[in-house]
Amino acid sequence: MKADPESPWLLAGRNRTVAISGSRITADVDASTEVDVRALDLYPGFIDQHCHGGGGGTFSTTDASEVAAAIHFHRGCGTTSIMASLVSAPTSELISQIETLMPFVDSQELIGIHLEGPWISPRFAGAHDPDSLRGPTTEELRALLHSAQGAIRMVTVAPELPGALDAIAQLVAADVTVAIGHTACNPEQARAAVDRGASVVTHAFNAMPGVHHRDPGPLPWLLAQDTVFIELIADGLHVHPDVLRLTTKAIGERRGIAVTDAMAAAGCCDGEYRLGDQRVQVKDGAARLFDESTLAGSTLTMDAAVRFLSSRCELPLSEAVTFATRNPAAALSLRDRGSLDAGMRADVVGFDSQGYVQLVVHGGTVLTSSA
C-alpha cells in the first residue's frame, strides 16, 4: 500500500475515512489518492503512558539502541505515542538514563519520561530495588527536573512519605503530571495529594493496599474522584477481569487509562531479563522477580490491552480504544493526539473484525499494513 506523503490522501476504512496531509489529519477531503482499507475500523494510534521497554530493549539504560528497539517494537503494535518509564535508581544513574532518553523526546519519538520512583513506599516497592527508594527532597527534585529540561512529563509519588506533598506541589507547578502509586497511603493522604494537584493513579490495584469493605485503603476514594485518571494493566494477570469490569463501570468512559507497564521481554521469548537492577524471570509471558511471586512489569502490548478490555471486560471496542487514546491524551495534556479530528497528528490504527491491529500509520507514514 503506497501513498505519496507530500500530497493529501484519504484513508478509507469501514467506519470512517481519514484525510491526511503530511504528518497531520486534515479537514480537506478533496484528495485524489484514496487508500482502501474498508476491511478495517480506523481509530487513533495508541498512547502508552507507562512502559519500561519491549522488543528486548529497556528504557532504564544508557544505550540508545535499546531505547530505539523498544519504541520500534511497540509502534508496530499500534502504540504511536510512548512514554519511557524509569524504575528507581540512584540520582546519578537516573540522570544518565534521562540524558540517553532526551534526544528521543526532542525528536518526538517519545512523548516524555515517567519517573516511577524513587519516591515510593518500601512496603509496596513491587519490582523496584528497595535500596534505591527514598523520600523526595527539593534539591533532588530540582536536579532531576533541571537535567531533563522539560522531558519529565509524569512522576509517581507515594503521598505518605515525608516531604511528598510539597514535592507534588513543586512538580505540578513545573507542569509535570503527578501520579499516586506504589503507596501505603490512606484515603486522607490520597485526598491531600489530589488537593495538591495529583491527577493519576499508577496501575490501580497493583502496589497499593487492596480494597476491603471496612478497611478501604485509598482506591475507593480515588475511583470516585472526577478529576483523577485511573491506570489499569489490562492483561488479566495484574487485575482480575471481574475487578477490571467493576472498575470500568464505576469510573465511566473518560477516566480509565490502559497501560502496558511492559518491560524488555514484551514481544520476546520467555527467559531472564532485567528491570533496572532487578533480575526478572519471564515464564509463559508473566514477568516476575526471582521470588516467583512479585510481578515485575508485563509483556503486554496496547493492542492486546484494548482487545482484553473489550472481549473480557465487556467494554465496547470504541470505549476500550478511548482508554488507550483520548483519556491518556487528556491526562497528559497532549493536545494534538488521541483523536482523529482535523489538526491532530496523523496517527491511525486499523482493527480487523477480530480486534487485531492490521494497520499502523505514524505521523502520516504507513508502517504496518496487512490490509
The whole-angstrom distance between residue 301's C-alpha and the CA centroid of its chain comes to: 10
Specify the residue, 3 or 154, whose C-beta has the smaller distance to Zn ion. 154
- CB-based contacts of 287: which residues, under 8 Å, 6+ apart? 263, 265, 273, 275, 280, 281, 295, 296, 297, 298, 299
Specify the residue, 42 or 86, whose C-beta has the smaller distance to Zn ion. 86
Q: How far is the CB of 261 from Zn ion (least distance, A)?
A: 4
Total residues contacting Zn ion by CB under 5 A comes to 2
Specify the residue, 191 or 288, whose C-beta has the smaller distance to Zn ion. 288
Q: How far is the CB of 164 from Zn ion (least distance, A)?
A: 18
Which range of residues in 216-224, 254-262, 273-281, 329-337 is near Zn ion by CB under 5 A? 254-262
Binding mask 211-230 for Zn ion (x = CB under 5 A): --------------------
Say if CB 186 and CB 218 are below 8 A apart: yes
DSSP H stretches of helix in the chain:
64-76, 91-106, 138-148, 164-173, 187-195, 219-223, 241-251, 302-311, 317-324, 326-331
Specify the residue, 66 or 261, whose C-beta has the smaller distance to Zn ion. 261
270 has catalytic annotation: no
Q: For Zn ion, which residue of 41, 66, 160, 261 counts as binding (CB under 5 A)?
A: 261
Specify the residue, 48 or 261, whose C-beta has the smaller distance to Zn ion. 261
Q: Which grid coordinates belong to 31? A: 484528495
Q: How far is the CB of 52 from Zn ion (least distance, A)?
A: 6
Q: Which residue of the set 41, 48, 235, 261 is catalytic?
A: 261
Q: At which residue does the C-alpha cell 532526551 appear?
A: 102
- Give the CA distances from residue 262 to residues 90, 176, 232, in Å, rounded to whole numbers and listed in that order: 22, 22, 12
Say if CB 149 and CB 173 are below 8 A apart: no
Say if CB 309 and CB 323 are below 8 A apart: yes
Residue nearest Zn ion, CB atom distance:
261
Q: How far is the CB of 259 from Zn ion (least distance, A)?
A: 8
Specify the residue, 297 or 338, whose C-beta has the smaller distance to Zn ion. 297
Q: How far is the CB of 141 from Zn ion (least distance, A)?
A: 20
In angstroms, rounded to a whole number, what is the distance separating the alpha carbons of residues 262 and 116? 13
CB atoms within 10 A of CB 65: 9
Which range of residues in 147-155, 214-222, 255-263, 363-371 is near Zn ion by CB under 5 A? 255-263
Q: CB burial class (10 A; 0-12, 13-18, 19+) of residue 220?
A: middle
Q: How far is the CB of 179 from Zn ion (least distance, A)?
A: 10
CB atoms within 10 A of CB 38: 11
Which range of residues in 92-100, 191-199, 259-267, 268-276 is near Zn ion by CB under 5 A? 259-267
Site for Zn ion in 111-150 (CB under 5 A): 116
Q: Is 48 in the site for Zn ion (CB under 5 A)?
A: no
- Give the CA distances from residue 301 to residues 102, 209, 222, 246, in Å, rounded to whole numbers and listed in that order: 23, 26, 26, 22
Specify the residue, 48 or 116, whose C-beta has the smaller distance to Zn ion. 116
Q: How far is the CB of 116 from Zn ion (least distance, A)?
A: 5
Q: Which grid coordinates belong to 208? A: 497499593
Site for Zn ion in 99-118 (CB under 5 A): 116
Footprint of Zn ion (CB under 5 A): 116, 261
Tell me which residues are annotated as active site: 261
